[in-house]
Structures are given as structure tokens and as C-alpha cells.
Amino acid sequence: MDSYAETIMNGLNLTTETETDTSSCNDIVRIFQQHKDFPKSTTDDDDDTWFLNDPDDVLHSFVHIVSFTGSDVLTGNDVTLNRAGTFLPTYRTQLYAANDLLVIAGTGYRNDNVTKLNDKGKNQNGQVASEYTFVITFDLDGRGATPAAAGEIEGSIDGQFSMDYYDNHLRMATTSGAKYGLFPLEDGHREWTQLDDSKSRVSVLQEQEGGELVTVGVIDDLGVGDSISSVRILGERGYISSWDEDTQLYVLDLSNPTNPVMAGNFNITNSRFNYMHPLDNGTKLLSIGTAVSDDKDSYERIGLSISLLNVIDASNPYEEQTYVFETNGNSEALDDHHAFRFIPEINKLIIPGYTYNWQKKDFFDGTWLFDIDASTGITHAGTVTHAGMNDMTN
């Protein structure tokens, strides 16, 4: 055991690599390949490991945290680097940072055995890949990051706004996609069968003794058959926007971490919320999303939807003002909150815009401005052009 452990540690020590010896990364992959569930072959027809993994992805799951004091850089003093790291069984990580806590989360899958009744009423054994978000927290003490706790919750996480740390509790919003199982047929083939519909939830986690993140509260009736499109969790309130046709916004009461509940909800037709920005101490939300046509069969995109949502009364949220900006183009603000700029002193929303449509001869590269007023409404306040048609088409 001592010899084996030493071999593993040597393999994980990336600093031993030289120009002539680049085996360390390969050693890490080889260590993971010794796991009992790792596919031994991807070409053998008899191989029953249908859920395959790429060994190269193992290195993508290593998170390396380096901490240093910024003043040392400015003053020219020697910079001391404090290092921490972890492996997460995921293909990408999401980060959330509070003053004294760093949260790293990522979506992964677990291959489980399932049993269902076939058409003849007999039990049929199969396999299903279940979606999870794996979480690890690090304490931040001003000098470095120290591993604190780890846990997991059902579903996948999307973006930093899906996480929030408040009053020693970590709140996380996730969506579990429709779950399908792979079951054998009598002719030797296999078929996919849907076992569960997609589902969204908010889980509340708390660190327990022994460094375990335990779910102490959950609300999972946030729509069945849809997925989360936008999240804001602010103190004792949570706001979840979904892609569902019936309910676009859920307002959550998170004041009791062991019993989070839905306080209210409402539906907005022909639009989607991609990003929600808090205003007036969180009593209102300024949202931007995609506007679609009235045709329920096509849901053709017709432009951008900007809404001012009133959430003062959690049990009675409503849309105070709304505006559809018809355009063939798009805005980065739909996907990146850094592109969303609201100036409260002048009630101006400023977002970048881009249109490149040869068929309609519509070209634009610049900025759109909007006036946001709870009384008079939302209006297009102007356009700043950065590049003309000739610049764009050349």
C-alpha cells in the first residue's frame, strides 16, 4: 500500500515534468483508469459499459486554486503563493465567491441500474444516467483557500447566479433533464425509454461536522417538463424564471432554510426571461429576454423583451411595464450579465446589439438605449452605431 500510494503521489506531482519527461499528466489519467467502473474497452461489442468516458477529460476535472496577496505585487515584495485543488467529476465548473467562502460546482453523471415493467408485465433491468451537481467549498481566510466541505444535489447547475450563500446556508438552483433508461430487447438490441420528465428545484445545503454538505431543505415543484432559464437569489427571496409556457416566474420564500416555499408566481406570454437585474433594494426586477410571436406552433423569435417586474408583495408579483423591441438582431446581454448596464440615476438601460442578416439586408453593430419608467413605460431611447454596413460586409 505504501509503495502504491507513493506511485500515485508521484504521478500527481506535476512539478516533476521536464522537457524530456512529460508523463505526469498521463499518470493521472492512468490512475483514473484503474477505477473499477472505468470502461476497459470502447470497441468490443460485448462491452456493457454504454456510458463511456474520455480519459483526456479527467484532466479537465482538476481545479487548481492559487492565492496571493495583491499588495505584495504592488510593493515589489516576494509573492507567496498558496495552492489548493480538487478533482470534480464534471466537464465544466461554476464558481461562486462570498467574502469568506469559495464554492466550486459542476455537473456530472452517475450510471445506475433501474428496473421497470415491460409490455408483458415482467421486470426489465436497464441502466440510467442520473444528473448531479457536485459541490465543494473552500474557506477563505485572507491568505489562501482551505477545503471545507463537499456534497452533491440532483440536477445540473447553470451559471453563478444559480448559487448563493446566506446565513451559513448555500442555496442552489438546478434542473434535472428528462431521464431516459437503456433497456435490452429480446432481439439483442437495446432501446431508450423515458422514465421521468424534466424538473427544476432549489436545494438548501449546510455544512455538517466531518466536512459534509447536507441538504436541509428543498423545493422541487418549480414546473415539470421545463427548465430554468434565469435565477436570482437575494437574501430571503428567490426568483426563478423557467422556459415553461404556463408559469414564467416563481417567487420563493427562503426565510426558513429547512422549509423553502413558493410564495407566488405569474405567467408572461410571448417572452422569456434570460437575465433578471434587481432594482430598488430587490423590490423590483428589470429583465431582458427573447420575445416570440403569438404562433404557438412556431414560436418565431421577433426581438427582445424588456420587462419591469414588481415583486414587493411576494404572493402577488406582476409585470409593471413591458416593451418588445422588434429586431432581427441579438444582444450579448441575453447570455452575459456583464453586457447589461443600467444607470439608476437616469433610468437608462444600455445593451450592445448586433444584426447581420443578408436576406433582409439588415446590418447593425452598436448599442441600444432604453428609458425605464415605472409610470410612463419602457421606450427605445436611442441607438449608437459602432460600425456601418460597409465595415461589416467588407
Question: Is the pLDDT assigned to residue 29 strictly greater than 80?
Answer: no
- At 286-339, the pLDDT tens digits run 999 988 877 666 667 888 999 999 999 999 999 999 999 999 899 999 999 999
pLDDT of residue 226: 75
- At 59-102, the pLDDT tens digits run 567 788 899 888 888 898 888 898 888 877 776 788 999 889 99
- At 232-260, the pLDDT tens digits run 999 999 999 886 666 578 999 999 999 99
Q: Which position has the higher pLDDT, 151 or 17? A: 151
Do 29 and 55 meet the contact criterion of CB atoms below 8 Å apart? yes
Where does residue 188 fall: left (phi above 0), alpha (psi -120 to 50 degrees), or beta otherwise?
A: left
Do 277 and 283 meet the contact criterion of CB atoms below 8 Å apart? no
Arithmetic mean of pLDDT, 23-29: 51
Output the pTM of the full model.
Answer: 0.80
Assigned C-alpha cell, 323: 416593451
Q: What is the mean pLDDT of the chain?
A: 82
- At 277-297, the pLDDT tens digits run 999 888 899 999 988 877 666
Residue 199 to residue 244: CA distance in whole angstroms: 11
pLDDT of residue 259: 96
